[in-house]
Amino acid sequence: MHSRKRMLFLDLVLSVFRLNGLLISQGDAMTEKLGLTSARWKVIGVIALSNAGLTVPGIARVLGQSRQAVQRITDVMVTDGLLSYQVNPQHKRSVLVTLTQDGKSAYNALREVQDPWAIENTEDIPIEELDTALRLVRRLINKFDK
């Protein structure tokens, strides 16, 4: 029993790695026409969904990436006018990252391609399967995010 469970888990891990690569590739193709990348798509999306902005460490936590990697991309996106750094009343040294007007426009343009893509790629997947998969992935994230 443990052997089968271990093999299923390792197959799941490899499949998630493969899915991640495919999602990055699809994201790059989808966002290229907008002058963005999947990395920028992820950052813009996380900030847009936060409503009030996030710190760089907060973005890194949500994305499961290093703070340094997120800092590099946010610095470039600030220079490009998509993001801005704001004073954080909760923390003197960790600024809030927010979308500029151009960043909000980019997010709206992303939604116009992202939403049909999401619908098209889930038409043949029952909602119960998506719900179960999401719960499993979140459970594993919580297990490893300690």
| Cα(43)–Cα(73) distance, integer angstroms | 8
| Share above pLDDT 70 across residues of the chain, in percent, rounded to a whole number | 99
pLDDT given for residue 93 in this prediction: 83
| Element containing residue 98 per DSSP (H, E) | strand 96-99
Q: Which residues contact 16 (CB under 8 A, 6 or more apart)?
A: 137
Residue among 93, 102, 87 nearest 53 (CA):
87
CA distances from 115 to 27, 39, 51, 121 (A): 12, 18, 19, 10
CATH code at 2-144: 1.10.10.10
Are the CB atoms for 81 and 40 separated by under 8 Å? no
pTM for this one? 0.84
In this prediction, residue 94 has a pLDDT band, given cuts at 50, 70 and 90, of: confident
**82: helix, coil or strand?**
coil
pLDDT given for residue 146 in this prediction: 75
Name the residue with higher pLDDT: 8 or 90: 8
pLDDT given for residue 42 in this prediction: 94
* 12-40 pLDDT, tens digit each: 999 999 999 999 999 999 999 999 999 99
Cβ of 31: how many Cβ atoms within 10 Å? 21
Q: Is the pLDDT of residue 92 over 90?
A: no
* 95-106 pLDDT, tens digit each: 999 999 999 999
